[in-house]
Amino acid sequence: MVRRRTCLALLCFAIVAVGPLCAEVPPGPKWLQTALFYQVYPQSFFDSNGDGIGDLRGITQKLDYIQSVGCNAIWINPIYESPFGDAGYDVTDFYKVAPRYGTNEDFKNLCAEAHKRGMHVCLDLVAGHTSIAHPWFQQSAADRPNRYSNWYIWTPADDSVPRSQPFPGEHNRSDRYLPNFFPFQPALNYGYAHPDPKEPWQLPTTDPACMAVREELKNVMKFWLDLGADGFRVDMASSLVRNDPGHQAISLKTEMAPDSAGVRSGLVSLSDRFESSSGICSSR
Ligand SMILES: [Ca+2]
């Protein structure tokens, strides 16, 4: 199932040697060149404990089946903690597997079992937004300034910005926030490539808050890579930065360059491989 409202994108990491970074699109991990993905919609795939909901242990139990139909990689739709107002695309904790699907240890085991079979595992990185119940948003909405105040896109309280939503509360700011899809999915703030000077709420991509969101996204990726993930399908990859028609504002190709975590970049556009895609793919 391809999510109806997103560009298909993959941010894939593989532990393979890659050449020097260059301005052009690097080739990506070798395994991706021959990857055939089986998309796993976790809640309806295979239920290992009979509670009526598919889970990570169920996916692990079906790896041999997935391999038997010719696939050598899986992409799992969101498995993070969530109130599931939108099938897990409304995340409340990017660092924890939702209890309905199991535990982080179950994910670690799934990756280990997949790797034993020469298979690769990609998670769905919900990069564009969170749930309104996420602690980041709860703090961002507070009427006292804090480190999360600009992690989301807040617009004037006067209802002048289309689709902006109020978030009333005794101790909440009077501004309105921009959602991506449902009102309970506030957009994370990666900034505007070309902020409108007449709209000071449009922050540039270099704003410290926007930079902090991007750094946190990298932390999320590193966390799951350390547990064994091989890469990510990135939700909304092509539209994280606003007002950026040429997708030039943030060069993730270079931003994910080698760092202290040992992540070696090679962020590759997969747009020539996947319809409606403007995704990115990385090697390490
Ligand atoms: Ca279950």
Tens of pLDDT along 41-90? 999 999 999 999 999 999 999 999 999 999 999 999 999 999 999 999 99
Alpha carbon dihedral 166, 167, 173, 178, in 10-degree steps, equals -60
| Residues whose beta carbons lie less than 5 angstroms from ion ligand 1 | 47, 49, 51, 53, 55
Q: Of all residues in the chain, what percent carry a pLDDT higher than 70?
A: 77
Residue 249 — pLDDT band, cuts 50, 70, 90? low
Residue 239 — pLDDT band, cuts 50, 70, 90? confident
Mean pLDDT of 114-132: 95
* pLDDT tens for each residue of 133-170: 999 999 999 999 999 999 999 999 998 999 999 999 99
* Ligand 1 centroid from CA 99, angstroms: 9
Q: How far apart are CA 255 and CA 165, in angstroms?
A: 32
DSSP percent split of the chain into helix, strand, coil, nearest 5: 25, 15, 60
* Ligand 1 centroid from CA 195, angstroms: 46
Would the pLDDT of 5 be above 50? no
* Ligand 1 centroid from CA 100, angstroms: 6
Query: Given this model, what pLDDT does residue 268 score?
Result: 31
Q: Which amino acid is at 19?
A: G
CATH topology of domain 11-131+210-255: TIM Barrel (3.20.20)
Output the six-digit token pair for 203: 């922050």
* Ligand 1 centroid from CA 79, angstroms: 13
* Ligand 1 centroid from CA 51, angstroms: 5
- pTM, 2 dp: 0.83
* Ligand 1 centroid from CA 104, angstroms: 15
* Ligand 1 centroid from CA 59, angstroms: 10
Q: Which amino acid is at 170?
A: E
Distance from first CA to last CA of the chain, Å, rounded?
28
Would the pLDDT of 24 be above 90? no
* Ligand 1 centroid from CA 217, angstroms: 28
Higher pLDDT, 241 or 65: 65
